[in-house]
């Protein structure tokens, strides 16, 4: 990253957990870890692509950035000068010895969007806008285009009342529409035109950052290209930064300067677009690239397509969260008791005869069966090829004691994001070597 | 055919259009869609005739003094059959002019239905909106209260309340308000929950609109059409239930109200004096039918499923 430009947005260990509520009294029975410790930066005039399967938390990040969802933990900083960014990184590394205390205080009080309130937050609203996926749902069916596009101008009192309409026409012209479209309802437009209206609305306050939440996935391919080119041109003209959320890798390749790949609420790989496409490090990224229909590249043809379900984000796997579906998983990936239970779910007779599970932590458990026969059967089942070899190797101890089976694994820390050969960050035990 | 009309609408919009003209044009379009259905038109004609009768009641028949809502009594002409001079629809046992009752009964019904519908819509929309927007425990508590109200059949519930409060016209209004608001609360809550998840509400939040602005400009206008349909249907239902309550004697005796008249006339039916009950009964039937026809027509046009296509 060049050091001369400002960093428009800096996510620091952002977490967003949604409580699972039940019953009349809305008791909290669990937490969905939608976003679990995500950090990345967006520079001025830069496009960062956020990719991942549905349910990986990419849209939640978009909603957190645009201020729609309060964060559970972590910080999002807005518009940091290079000095501030350095000071902040310094502060995070050496918490105890604060060199630039006044600068840190200033950053916290003016740039941390999860802490600022009132006028400062209002100001942030002007600088961060969003374009949604579904243009039917993102434009109110009862408002005219003139109302929709001029509304942000009215709310922020950007211009006098008699200037509203000229400004609105100007905005419409910038997105390839005209004044003949001013007094129409959204339903009178095609999908591509409606998305242009959304973009005009997002541009109205002249923001520095626009969150694009799958802006083209509801459009057909020829229109997609038009919208992408429009976004490209607007970025050049206005020096906008984009946070581009999508699952479409060819779109992201066309648009993004940097890519952040997410899986189960965590970043699994982050780096420059060309690096990631040329030499993906994480097996998940490899699988994603292999899954996208691209005839020109068969480098990844040895990667099997992903199968198996995404684990429950309310109980994300320890260690490497991708290991349950990983084709190249290792013994040290952080296997745990939940993996055995997940396997048991396919084994009806065993899961029916299970009486209780005593699990002091993720890596140790005592499973009690109704009969000692079932307990032995479980041990035998773990010995067979139904269980991945790497997982079998990771089991430290498995003992049958009457009706009980004691299982323990080697405890493993969460796999960290580390710098790999190609300069990108990757969260995989293979990259650690 | 409908589609062609709509497409023509787009092309007609030109540079000289103003927001006002476009809105007017769209409202006319909706109206023309409503009028495309002949049964709705029939309902609308009856409604307009009924409303005209209610509004011009003092012109049609001389108002009774001092209280025009009280039936005039002509003891000499008691029990006279229809088409007698001065009493074209005959008189009741107690000498009340049936025609006067029919005409001024329309006024009473209009008063009753407008009062009850306004009060219930306001109450229901407020409570439903609070439940839908706040959610969580507030929603649970409010909706359980609504469930209690809904678990009792509306006629029996209204009857019980009116009986407790004592026989009077005001108490009937009160009883009907207590019974009818729950439906609106239910409808409004469902609509608000549906609409507040729309992305245009998120977009308004992101541009910095206040919560009140979002409610008034985005949520309320987009969630109101089912409430309007229900209100139209209830304009008819309320008169029906109100007449029932009057019929069993929970209203004031002697007022110009269709239910009261039916009740007064019922003793004479077996003796061949059919008119005193039949004409007011017919009015109740027509009133309820007309508003139901119009409500059904509105529902077809304002149906949420066709909302985005309009």
**What confidence tens digit (pLDDT) does each residue in A221-246 have?**
889 999 999 999 999 999 999 999 99
Instruction: Give the model's pLDDT for residue A170.
Output: 92
Report the mean per-residue pLDDT for chain A: 83
Per DSSP, the residues of B145-181 read: HHHHHHTS-HHHHHHHHHHHH-S-HHHHHHHHHHHHH
Chain B residues closer than 8 Å to A152 by CB: 207-208
CB pairs under 8 A between A and B: 94
How long, in residues, is chain B? Answer: 310
Instruction: Mutate one of A188, A209, A214, A243 to test the B interface: name it (highest B CB count within 10 A).
Output: A188
Query: CA-to-CA distance for B165 and B167, rounded, in angstroms?
Result: 7
The neighbour count for residue B236, using CB atoms within 10 Å, is: 25
CB contact under 8 A, B19 and A147: yes
Under 8 Å between Cβ of A29 and A21: yes
In the predicted structure, residue B281 carries a pLDDT above the cut 90: yes
Instruction: Give the model's pLDDT for residue B303.
Output: 65
Query: Per-residue confidence at A98, pLDDT binned at 50, 70, 90?
Result: low
Query: CA-to-CA distance for B205 and A128, rounded, in angstroms?
Result: 12
**Once rounded to an integer, what is the mean pLDDT over residues A47-53?**
91
Chain B residues closer than 8 Å to A67 by CB: 205-206
Instruction: Mutate one of B134, B199, B201, B221 to test the A interface: name it (highest A CB count within 10 A).
Output: B199
Shared domain check, A346 and A211: no
Assess if residue A243 is contained within a domain: yes
Q: Using a CB–CB cutoff of 8 Å, tell me whether A29 touches chain B.
A: no
Query: Per-residue confidence at A100, pLDDT binned at 50, 70, 90?
Result: low
| DSSP-based three-state secondary structure for B198 | coil
The three-state (H, E, C) secondary structure of B32-81, written as one string: HHHHCCHHHHHHHHHHHHHHHHHHCHHHHCCCCCCCCCECCECHHHCCCC
**Once rounded to an integer, what is the mean pLDDT over residues A290-294?**
69
Q: Could you tell me the CATH number of the domain that includes residue A390? A: 3.30.1360
Check residues B303 and A38 and name the one with the higher pLDDT. A38
Under 8 Å between Cβ of A353 and A371: yes
Query: CA-to-CA distance for A252 and A235, rounded, in angstroms?
Result: 15
Assess if residue A348 is contained within a domain: yes
Instruction: Give the model's pLDDT for residue B229.
Output: 92
**Once rounded to an integer, what is the mean pLDDT over residues B115-137?**
94
Chain A residues closer than 8 Å to B309 by CB: 187
Check residues A205 and A3 and name the one with the higher pLDDT. A205
Bridge partners for B91 per DSSP: B97
Instruction: Give the model's pLDDT for residue B174.
Output: 93
Bridge partners for A222 per DSSP: none
Query: Per-residue confidence at B14, pLDDT binned at 50, 70, 90?
Result: very low
Residue bearing tokens 């049936």: B98
Nearest-CA distance B243 → chain A (Å): 39
Query: Per-residue confidence at A25, pLDDT binned at 50, 70, 90?
Result: confident
Query: Per-residue confidence at B13, pLDDT binned at 50, 70, 90?
Result: very low
Shared domain check, A242 and A339: no
Shared domain check, A347 and A227: no
| DSSP-based three-state secondary structure for A35 | strand
Under 8 Å between Cβ of B153 and B217: no
In the predicted structure, residue A430 carries a pLDDT above the cut 80: no
According to DSSP, the β-strands at A241-246 and A209-213 are parallel
What does the pLDDT look like over A378-412, one tens digit per residue? 777 777 776 777 777 778 888 888 788 888 887 77
Nearest-CA distance B169 → chain A (Å): 40
Query: CA-to-CA distance for B248 and B267, rounded, in angstroms?
Result: 13
Residues 6 or more apart whose Cβ sits within 8 Å of residue B301: B30, B33, B34
| DSSP-based three-state secondary structure for A28 | strand
Q: Quick one: how far is CA B125 from the chain centroid? A: 16
Shared domain check, A131 and A240: yes
| DSSP-based three-state secondary structure for B113 | helix
Instruction: Give the model's pLDDT for residue A369.
Output: 80
Q: Could you tell me the CATH number of the domain that includes residue A157? A: 3.40.50.300
Bridge partners for A41 per DSSP: A10
Under 8 Å between Cβ of A21 and A30: no
Assess if residue A391 is contained within a domain: yes
Assess if residue A158 is contained within a domain: yes
Per DSSP, the residues of A174-228 read: HTT--GGGTT--GGGS-HHHHHHHHHHHHHTT--SEEEEESTTTTS-HHHHHHHH
Check residues B172 and A415 and name the one with the higher pLDDT. B172
Query: Per-residue confidence at B112, pLDDT binned at 50, 70, 90?
Result: very high
Shared domain check, A339 and A236: no
Query: CA-to-CA distance for A410 and A68, rounded, in angstroms?
Result: 40
In the predicted structure, residue B6 carries a pLDDT above the cut 50: no
Shared domain check, A184 and A36: yes
Query: CA-to-CA distance for A395 and A365, rounded, in angstroms?
Result: 12
Report the mean per-residue pLDDT for chain B: 86
Q: Quick one: how far is CA A95 from the chain centroid? A: 27
Shared domain check, A163 and A62: yes
Q: Quick one: how far is CA B193 from the chain centroid? A: 25
**Paired tokens of A28:** 């909290």
Worst-scoring range by mean pLDDT, A120-129, B6-15, B129-138?
B6-15
CB contact under 8 A, B203 and A138: yes
Instruction: Mutate one of A140, A151, A195, A209 to test the B interface: name it (highest B CB count within 10 A).
Output: A140
What does the pLDDT look like over B32-56, one tens digit per residue? 888 888 999 999 999 999 999 999 9
Residues 6 or more apart whose Cβ sits within 8 Å of residue B43: B289, B290, B291, B292, B293, B294, B296, B297
Assess if residue A135 is contained within a domain: yes
In the predicted structure, residue A292 carries a pLDDT above the cut 80: no
Query: CA-to-CA distance for B98 and B278, rounded, in angstroms?
Result: 10
* DSSP letter assigned to residue B87: B
In the predicted structure, residue A308 carries a pLDDT above the cut 80: no
Nearest Cβ partner for A144 among B22, B203, B213: B22
Residue bearing tokens 């008699």: A162
Assess if residue A217 is contained within a domain: yes
Provide the domain count of chain A.
2
Most confident of A265-274, B111-120, B164-173, B258-267: B111-120
| DSSP-based three-state secondary structure for A36 | strand
Query: Per-residue confidence at A207, pLDDT binned at 50, 70, 90?
Result: very high
What does the pLDDT look like over A148-181, one tens digit per residue? 999 999 998 888 888 888 999 999 999 999 888 8
Check residues B212 and A99 and name the one with the higher pLDDT. B212
Helix axes B154-165, B225-247, angle to 10 degrees: 60
In the predicted structure, residue A343 carries a pLDDT above the cut 50: yes
In the predicted structure, residue B2 carries a pLDDT above the cut 60: no
CB contact under 8 A, B310 and A188: no
What does the pLDDT look like over A311-327, one tens digit per residue? 888 878 877 888 888 87
**Once rounded to an integer, what is the mean pLDDT over residues B111-124?**
95
Helix axes B169-196, B136-150, angle to 10 degrees: 140
The three-state (H, E, C) secondary structure of B241-307, written as one string: HHHHHHHCCCCCCCECCHHHHHHHHHHHHCCCCCHHHHHHHHHHHHHHHHHHHHHHHHHHHHCHHHH
Instruction: Give the model's pLDDT for residue A298.
Output: 55
Shared domain check, A190 and A102: yes
In the predicted structure, residue B247 carries a pLDDT above the cut 70: yes
Shared domain check, A343 and A233: no
Chain A residues closer than 8 Å to B15 by CB: 179-180
Query: CA-to-CA distance for B107 and B75, rounded, in angstroms?
Result: 24
* DSSP letter assigned to residue A415: P
φ, ψ of residue B70 to 5 degrees: the values are -95, 140
Instruction: Give the model's pLDDT for residue A99.
Output: 63
Worst-scoring range by mean pLDDT, A55-59, A343-347, B56-60?
A343-347
Chain B positions contacting chain A at CB under 8 Å are: 10, 13-15, 17-19, 21-23, 26, 136-137, 140, 144, 198-200, 202-209, 213, 217-218, 221-222, 307-310
Assess if residue A269 is contained within a domain: no
What does the pLDDT look like over B257-275, one tens digit per residue? 898 888 888 888 888 888 8
Chain A residues closer than 8 Å to B199 by CB: 132-134, 137-138
Shared domain check, A244 and A150: yes
Residues 6 or more apart whose Cβ sits within 8 Å of residue B212: none
CB contact under 8 A, A137 and B18: no
**Paired tokens of A60:** 């939640």
CB contact under 8 A, B203 and A26: no
Residues 6 or more apart whose Cβ sits within 8 Å of residue B56: none
Q: Using a CB–CB cutoff of 8 Å, tell me whether A122 touches chain B.
A: yes
Shared domain check, A161 and A45: yes
* DSSP letter assigned to residue A414: P
* DSSP letter assigned to residue A143: S
Instruction: Give the model's pLDDT for residue A29.
Output: 82
Instruction: Give the model's pLDDT for residue A304.
Output: 54
Distances (CA, A) of A362 to A48, A318, A400, A413: 35, 8, 19, 11
CB contact under 8 A, A187 and B308: yes
CB contact under 8 A, A25 and B137: yes
Contacting A residues, span 31-70, partner chain B, CB-CB under 8 Å: 63, 66-68
| DSSP-based three-state secondary structure for A118 | helix
CB contact under 8 A, B140 and A24: yes
Which residue ranges form the domains of chain B, and what is each CATH number?
37-307 (1.10.3720.10)
Shared domain check, A339 and A238: no
Query: CA-to-CA distance for A361 and A359, rounded, in angstroms?
Result: 5
- Report chain B's C-alpha Rg in angstroms: 23
φ, ψ of residue A253 to 5 degrees: the values are -65, -35
Under 8 Å between Cβ of A321 and A263: yes
How long, in residues, is chain A? Answer: 433
| DSSP-based three-state secondary structure for B7 | helix
Residues 6 or more apart whose Cβ sits within 8 Å of residue A305: A287, A290, A291
Query: CA-to-CA distance for B59 and B49, rounded, in angstroms?
Result: 14
Assess if residue A320 is contained within a domain: no
Instruction: Give the model's pLDDT for residue A432.
Output: 60
Chain B residues closer than 8 Å to A187 by CB: 308-310
Nearest Cβ partner for A155 among B23, B208, B308: B208
**Once rounded to an integer, what is the mean pLDDT over residues B274-286?**
91
Check residues A337 and A141 and name the one with the higher pLDDT. A141
Query: Per-residue confidence at A293, pLDDT binned at 50, 70, 90?
Result: low
**Paired tokens of A409:** 């694994």
Residue A139 lies in domain: 7-256
ipTM above 0.90, yes or no: no
Worst-scoring range by mean pLDDT, A32-46, A88-102, A128-142, B224-238?
A88-102
Q: Using a CB–CB cutoff of 8 Å, tell me whether A127 touches chain B.
A: no
Residue bearing tokens 């549905």: A54
φ, ψ of residue A48 to 5 degrees: the values are -110, 125
């Amino acid at each position: 990253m060049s050091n001369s430009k400002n960093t428009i947005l800096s996510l620091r260990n952002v977490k967003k957990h949604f409580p699972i509520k039940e019953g009349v009294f809305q008791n909290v029975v669990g937490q969905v870890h939608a976003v679990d410790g995500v950090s990345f930066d967006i520079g001025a005039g830069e496009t960062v692509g956020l990719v991942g399967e549905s349910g990986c938390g990419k849209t939640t990040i978009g909603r957190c950035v645009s201020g729609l969802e309060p964060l559970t933990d972590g910080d999002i900083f807005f518009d940091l000068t290079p000095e501030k960014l350095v000071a902040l990184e310094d502060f995070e590394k050496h918490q105890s010895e604060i060199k630039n205390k006044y600068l840190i205080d200033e950053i916290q009080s003016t740039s941390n969007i999860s802490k600022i309130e009132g006028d400062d937050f209002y100001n942030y609203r002007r600088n961060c806008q969003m374009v949604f996926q579904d243009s039917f749902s993102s434009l109110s069916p009862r408002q005219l285009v003139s109302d929709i596009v001029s509304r942000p101008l009215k709310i922020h009192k950007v211009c006098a009342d008699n200037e509203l309409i000229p400004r609105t026409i100007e905005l419409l012209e910038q997105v390839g529409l005209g004044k003949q479209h001013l007094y129409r309802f959204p339903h009178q437009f095609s999908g591509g035109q409606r998305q242009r209206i959304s973009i005009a609305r997002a541009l109205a306050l002249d923001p520095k950052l626009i969150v694009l939440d799958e802006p083209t996935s509801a459009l057909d391919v020829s229109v997609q290209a038009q919208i992408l080119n429009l976004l490209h041109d607007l970025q050049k003209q206005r020096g906008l930064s984009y946070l581009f959320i999508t699952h479409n890798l060819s779109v992201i390749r066309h648009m993004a300067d940097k890519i952040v790949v997410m899986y189960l609420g965590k970043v699994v790989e982050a780096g420059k677009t060309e690096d990631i496409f040329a030499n993906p490090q994480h097996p998940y990224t490899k699988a994603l690239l292999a899954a996208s229909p691209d005839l020109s590249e068969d480098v990844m043809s040895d990667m099997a397509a992903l199968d198996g379900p995404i684990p429950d984000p309310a109980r994300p796997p320890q260690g490497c969260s991708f290991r349950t579906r990983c084709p190249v998983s290792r013994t040290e990936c952080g296997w745990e008791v939940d993996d055995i239970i997940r396997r048991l779910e396919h084994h009806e007779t065993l899961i029916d005869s299970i009486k209780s599970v005593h699990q002091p932590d993720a890596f140790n458990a005592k499973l009690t069966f109704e009969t000692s026969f079932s307990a032995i059967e479980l041990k035998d089942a773990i010995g067979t090829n139904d269980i991945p070899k790497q997982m079998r190797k990771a089991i430290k101890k498995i003992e049958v004691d009457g009706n009980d089976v004691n299982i323990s694994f080697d405890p493993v820390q969460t796999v960290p994001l580390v710098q790999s050969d190609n300069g990108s960050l990757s969260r995989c035990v293979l990259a650690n070597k | 055919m409908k589609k062609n009309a709509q497409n023509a609408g787009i092309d007609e919009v030109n540079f000289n259009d103003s927001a006002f003209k476009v809105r007017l044009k769209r409202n006319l379009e909706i109206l023309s869609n409503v009028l495309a259905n002949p049964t709705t038109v029939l309902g609308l004609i009856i409604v307009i005739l009924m409303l005209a009768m209610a509004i011009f009641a003092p012109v049609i028949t001389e108002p009774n003094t001092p209280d025009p809502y009280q039936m005039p009594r002509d003891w000499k002409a008691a029990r006279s059959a229809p088409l007698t001079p001065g009493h074209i629809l005959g008189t009741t046992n107690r000498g009340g002019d049936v025609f006067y009752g029919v005409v001024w009964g329309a006024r009473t019904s209009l008063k009753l239905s407008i009062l009850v519908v306004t009060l219930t819509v306001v109450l229901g929309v407020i409570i439903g909106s609070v439940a839908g927007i706040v959610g969580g425990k507030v929603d649970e508590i409010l909706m359980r209260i609504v469930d209690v109200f809904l678990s009792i059949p509306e006629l029996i519930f209204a009857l019980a309340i009116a009986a407790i409060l004592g026989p009077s016209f005001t108490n009937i209004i009160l009883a009907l308000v207590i019974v009818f608001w729950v439906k609106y609360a239910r409808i409004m809550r469902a609509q608000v929950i549906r609409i507040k998840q729309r992305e245009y509400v998120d977009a308004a939040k992101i541009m910095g609109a206040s919560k009140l602005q979002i409610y008034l400009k985005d949520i309320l206008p987009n969630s109101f059409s089912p409430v309007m349909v229900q209100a139209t249907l209830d304009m008819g239902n309320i008169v029906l239930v109100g007449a029932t309550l009057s019929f069993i004697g929970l209203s004031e005796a002697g007022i110009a109200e269709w239910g009261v008249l039916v009740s007064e006339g019922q003793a004479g039916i077996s003796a061949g004096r059919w008119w005193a009950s039949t004409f007011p009964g017919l009015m109740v039937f027509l009133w309820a039918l007309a508003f139901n026809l119009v409500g059904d027509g509105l529902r077809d046009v304002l149906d949420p499923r066709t909302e985005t296509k309009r």
